[in-house]
Structure 1
Amino acid sequence: MMLSVQHTNMDAKSTSDETLSTSMVSEINDEKENIPLCSYCRKSFANYSNLRHHIQIVHLKESKWDCSKCGKICSSKSNLKVHFRTHIRVKPYTCKYCEYDCMHHSSIKDHLTKNHPDKPHTSIEPGYNYNSQAVPEPDEFNAV
């Protein structure tokens, strides 16, 4: 399976903290709290670090990977690979104790904690299997 992605790295638009001027980063001051707010799209963030990352990836389009199926922008090839599982319906994580399977590592960890608290699920004996064959490998990603 080939996944077509577009990778853009605009070196000319280096965004250090100094480059992200106050015109790019705005905030709402409703006298109780300052909320970091993107001046491009008005999306709010929990902190300025998350806002800066959002501006760099989404608006300045630095080092981005676009999903060919839905246009979602990911900051890395590995994040795109995880996202792409939703399109191909791959569930590489399977529980060792029942028939449960899922797409994400956090989901299998939650499942084990809630449904098999008496069974071992540590880093040494994880309690799940991961089928790496089910997930496209980086060489199957077509960087454009």
Structure 2
Amino acid sequence: MPDWETIESTAGGFIGWGTRKGQHVTGRVVDYSIDGGTDFNGNKCPQLSVELTEKAASFNKEGERTDYEAGEIVNVTCGQASLKSTIRRTDPSPGDLLKITLSDLVKTANGTAKVFEIKIARGAAVSSAAPPAAAAAADTDDDEPPF
């Protein structure tokens, strides 16, 4: 008889990017797929699952906010042009510590483009829990982006 191992699925919320510079997703990369997501036009794009080491916020099209705490898993679909190209160049792996920050909003002929900055510490996320100093800092931070 086989020795079955049970793997729980992680639903995780999806991060929606708002319109305030400084919004970020910071945490341990759990999974990365170069074509696991779908952009607004139905085209394949990169997608990440991240176990947060700092709290994060998500915004829907109506501007309604959902907060996520450190330790929760969130999904980031990288369909926006700036984020798509930057995350592909970054090429993260599970266990990397990653910070994606909405760094600028630029007016274009087609509307407003969101510009992202990504920082990565390859292999740095050896633990799935936030270090005590980071958790304490998160408790005293503002409730508005940037956290």
> Does the pair score TM above 0.5?
no
Higher helix share: 1
Higher strand share: 2
Q: Which protein shows a greater Rg? A: 1
- Bin of the TM-score, shorter chain as denominator length: under 0.3
Instruction: Calculate the TM-score normalised by the size of structure 2.
Output: 0.18
